[in-house]
Amino acid sequence: MASVPKPETASARQEFYRRLDRDNLAPLWEVLHDLVIPQPKPATLPALWKYRDIRPYIMESGRLISAREAVRRVLILENPGLRGQSAITRSLYCGLQLILPGEVAPSHRHTQSALRFIVEGSGAYTAVEGERTTMHPGDFIITPAWTWHDHGNPGSEPVVWMDGLDIQIVALFDAQFAETYPEEMQPVTRSEGSSAARYGSNLAPLDAIAPFGRTSPVFSYPYARSREALATLAKNGDPDPCHGWKMRFINPLSGGHAMPTIGAFIQLLPAGMKSARCRSTDSTVYSVAEGTGKVKIAHAEFEFEPRDSFVVPSWHAMSVEAAEECVLFSYSDRPAQLALGLWRELRG
Ligand code: GTQ
């Protein structure tokens, strides 16, 4: 309230509010200052999950439930400011999924889009609409909305990846649909690499119609290729003071972000770099692919090493001190904010 009213006015207002309340009405002036605020005040908190500490839980889950029974055997990274919401930011979900040798995670599809960033192990696959792609650490893999997908591990080691989904965005719009495939595994109808040949070689079929709408038809972006690009960039020119060499994963048919709701990025910071502070409105989830260092997020400070995950809330200034050469994967809701004209960045 703008000022302290006289007692009789105050009680008349309270009585008015009680009558309003019974008719599902509420006075804006009591809440306006919480609704329209000068800058973001996220409930999302800065947080870091040390892989060294959480890996034992992931492996324990592998002894307590099978991938088949769990459907998806995942430990959710819950933001400490958003506990109980299965959310790492207000708009995004994050989990670490485990698939053991010989296991299958059954086929289903849903309107949520998913990304995978491989954290540990090789030899598992994810299948999307009849094509399998083999996972290696650092690979970025997309499951477009409403595509059949299952995961399997014909290899010999446990495989763990980060799942990023737009669960909270789809829920905001009450636009959730999901279906289970009639069989555990969908049939393989195309050989591995056929999407990469069709769309991921700087070539496109003459009559290319986007098979997954606004989502990239290249559903696997192998680490070997993104890493090589970063290494070459780092030999040519200076790093951006805030981001080092930072690239976004693109949809080659449009040049836009690889997914309509989620932006995914990979960046290299040279050994010894102390990045300049930078903030943006897209709360961002990171997975450390290589290197050790320290990240400052507003007033919080965390040491990181490979396979750690951390989250930077909206409008929190972030800077990194790279003790070694670092490669960071990240994802956020930036394309959604850009589409709505909301995204902002402030450097320095
Ligand atoms: O792999 O389809 O972490 O549907 C959460 C929901 C993974 C998946 C998650 C999912 C999936």
Supply the CATH number for residue 311's domain: 2.60.120.10
For the segment 310-328, the average pLDDT, to the nearest whole number, is: 98
Could you tell me if residue 33 is inside a domain?
no
CA–centroid distance, residue 254 to ligand 1 (Å): 26
Could you tell me if residue 261 is inside a domain?
yes
According to DSSP, the residues that pair with 180 across neighbouring strands are 108
Regarding pTM above 0.85, the answer is yes
Q: What is the pLDDT of residue 112?
A: 98
Which region among 174-183, 202-211, 214-223 has the lowest average model confidence (pLDDT)? 202-211
> With bands split at pLDDT 50, 70 and 90, how would you rate the model's confidence at 28?
very high
pLDDT over 70 at 72, yes or no? yes
Q: From the CB of 308, is ligand 1 less than 6 Å away? A: no
| Residue whose CA lies nearest to ligand 1 atom number 9 | 163
Q: What is the pLDDT of residue 91?
A: 98
Q: What is the pLDDT of residue 208?
A: 84
Could you tell me if residue 149 is inside a domain?
yes
Percentage above 70 pLDDT, the chain: 99
Q: What is the pLDDT of residue 4?
A: 87
Q: How many residues does the chain have?
A: 348
| Residue whose CA lies nearest to ligand 1 atom number 11 | 72
CA–centroid distance, residue 249 to ligand 1 (Å): 21
pLDDT over 60 at 84, yes or no? yes
**Residue 226 is part of which domain span?**
47-347
Q: What is the pLDDT of residue 295?
A: 98
For the segment 128-154, the average pLDDT, to the nearest whole number, is: 97
pLDDT over 80 at 3, yes or no? no
Could you tell me if residue 286 is inside a domain?
yes
Could you tell me if residue 6 is inside a domain?
no
pLDDT over 60 at 235, yes or no? yes
Could you tell me if residue 305 is inside a domain?
yes
Q: What is the pLDDT of residue 348?
A: 85
Residue to mutate (ligand 1; options 61, 68, 71, 72; most atoms within 8 A of CB): 72
Asked if residue 294 lies in contact with residue 303, where contact means CB atoms within 8 angstroms, the answer is yes
pLDDT over 70 at 1, yes or no? no
Q: What is the pLDDT of residue 2?
A: 57
Could you tell me if residue 19 is inside a domain?
no
Residue to mutate (ligand 1; options 165, 177, 180, 219; most atoms within 8 A of CB): 165
Could you tell me if residue 22 is inside a domain?
no
Closest to 233 in 3D by CA, of 220, 247, 219: 247
Asked if residue 288 lies in contact with residue 325, where contact means CB atoms within 8 angstroms, the answer is no
Mean pLDDT of the chain: 97
Count of structural domains within the chain = 1
Q: From the CB of 62, is ligand 1 less than 6 Å away? A: no
Q: From the CB of 74, is ligand 1 less than 6 Å away? A: yes
Q: From the CB of 163, is ligand 1 less than 6 Å away? A: yes
Give pLDDT tens digits for 45-61. 999 999 999 999 999 99
For the segment 188-206, the average pLDDT, to the nearest whole number, is: 96
